[in-house]
Amino acid sequence: MPNARFKRIMLKVGGESLIGEREYGIDPRAAMTVAEQIKKIHDEGVEIAVVIGGGNIFRGMAGEKNGIDRATADYMGMLATVMNALALQDALEKIGVPTRVQSALEMPSVAERFIRRRAIRHMEKGRVVILAAGTGVPYVTTDTGASLHALELHCDVFMKATKVDGIYDKDPVQNPDAKRFKTLSFADAISMPGVEVMDTAALAMSSDNNMPVMVFELFKDNNLEKAIQGEDIGTYVSNDVKTEFA
């Protein structure tokens, strides 16, 4: 991509992106829609690692609230991310994008074990790497796992693709007067009440290691391509910017 601002990215996609028209689970058509967005930037030479959540199947924190031991619930959530990773791999390979799934939990029949140097080599060879099962330990969110992997793999940016078009000063669904941030400092993202980006551990890790974060809506006007080119979409979070509204 001649005008690409970022050459290697960590893309975090929520498991809900695979629900489609269903109430829960995986809709193959929705998986294909996500795959097609990824293919557009892959075909332009961008190196891509993907972390996908498991909330469309099972969410560890919700399991804990319903009486399941937190560690057990988190492991169940990790298995949900493996299912989503395989579904996305299937969709990507059907449209000609070479893909490898690496898992933090060992399951050699369906996925490679996560090895940092191997993941980097896959990306250098033009393969999309989908990283499943978080960090392999409980009490850690997929956002934190994605932040960690972004640093391990020397990504240029951590891109979080969501259902909303950026970060707001309060919940835009409940508050029609909510304002979207164009840029947001990590310090404000962590300290400002009402601002929900990702969990504090993920923000602190990104801030401490100067890993910028972009939050944008995935399914809108080729936003992933625009984000790669550095266009003004969503919200850009960094240590090097001042907090400003769009």
Q: What range defines the domain where residue 231 resides?
A: 8-245
Tell me the pLDDT tens digit for each residue of 56-90: 999 877 888 889 999 999 999 999 999 999 999 99
Number of compact structural domains in the chain: 1
- Domain of residue 208, CATH code: 3.40.1160.10
Mean pLDDT of 153-170: 94
Is 194 a member of any domain?
yes
Among 241, 101, 66, 104, smallest CA distance to 167 is for: 241
Q: Around Cβ 171, how many Cβ atoms within 10 Å?
A: 11
The C-alpha angle 177, 181, 184, rounded to 5 degrees, equals 145
Amino acid at 189: A
Phi then psi dihedrals of residue 99, to 5 deg: -140, 145
Does pLDDT of 23 surpass 50? yes
Residue showing tokens 């074990």? 113
Mean pLDDT of 179-195: 93
pTM of the complete model: 0.95
CB of 12 within 8 A of CB of 159? yes
- In sign, the C-alpha dihedral spanning 95, 153, 27, 17 is negative
The one-character DSSP state at 177 is: T
Task: Identify the band that residue 182 occupies on the pLDDT scale cut at 50, 70 and 90.
Answer: very high
CB of 218 within 8 A of CB of 13? yes
Is 2 a member of any domain?
no
Interatomic CA distance for residues 235 and 232, integer angstroms? 8
Mean pLDDT of the chain: 94
Q: What's the distance, Cα to Cα, between the start and end of the chain in Å?
A: 27
Is 3 a member of any domain?
no
